[in-house]
Amino acid sequence: MENENTGELRLVLHPDPILYRECEEVTEFGDELKGLARRMFDLMYESNGLGLAGPQAGVSKKIAVINASEQRGEAELVIVNPVLELGSEIDVMEEGCLSFPGIKGKVKRASALKLKARNLDGEPVEMDADGILARALQHETDHLNGIVFINRMGPAARFLVKGRLRELEAEYEQDER
Ligand code: CO
């Protein structure tokens, strides 16, 4: 987290303020960005996640890594400066997030979308997605805009996770001291 170019990345947990602000657009592409993406994948696999966004690794930049296939190396996707065009059909599914250990809750999301983003070389990419990938793309793009999945939960789901949120907040305060 201290040095995003060489150091090992560390998972950032709720309620760290970096999770709640919009990230900067990526303007420099190339080897450094590729190194960052590689280390983000390492941290994601180590933490058994399907996706990881920059701020969750302490890097407030619009980059996220996704692997919804659960097979390492296969179907790895890096999105930079993503913009989503959401379809009108809605799905409800239970989600979790590496920055909210022990919390799961139902979230409504568009069931299909079109992604417009850059790749690691700065080239524009476009992709249609549905299913688990569409969900992951929405979850990670939200992170890059300072929105986390508990912000997307309805009041009932939110009520159920209140206690665990308080615990995470107490642990964070302890670590800050
Ligand atoms: Co997340």
| Per-residue pLDDT tens digits for 115-124 | 999 999 999 9
Q: What are phi and psi of 102, to 5 degrees?
A: 85, 5
Distance 173 CA to ligand 1 centre (A): 21
Distance 147 CA to ligand 1 centre (A): 9
Percent of all residues in the chain with a pLDDT value above 90, rounded to a whole number:
89
CA 66 to CA 51: how far, in whole Å? 4
pLDDT at 70: 67
Distance 99 CA to ligand 1 centre (A): 6
Residues 6+ apart with CB under 8 A from 75: 67, 68, 69
User: Which candidate in 8, 95, 123, 140 is catalytic?
Assistant: 140
pLDDT over 50 at 2, yes or no: no
- pLDDT 10s digits, 12-38: 999 999 999 999 999 999 999 999 999
For the chain, the average pLDDT equals 94
pLDDT at 35: 96
Instruction: State pTM to two decimals.
Output: 0.94
Residues 6+ apart with CB under 8 A from 94: 104, 105, 106, 107
Gyration radius from the chain CA atoms: 16
pLDDT band at 5 (very low <50, low <70, confident <90, very high): low
Cα-Cα end-to-end distance for the chain: 18
What is the average pLDDT across 126-151?
Answer: 97
The reply to whether 140 belongs to the active site is yes
pLDDT band at 1 (very low <50, low <70, confident <90, very high): very low
Distance 56 CA to ligand 1 centre (A): 8
Q: Strands of 68-168 (E only): list them.
A: 77-86, 90-96, 104-110, 112-118, 124-130
Ion ligand 1 residues within 5 Å by Cβ: 97
Distance 75 CA to ligand 1 centre (A): 19
Distance 96 CA to ligand 1 centre (A): 7
pLDDT band at 137 (very low <50, low <70, confident <90, very high): very high
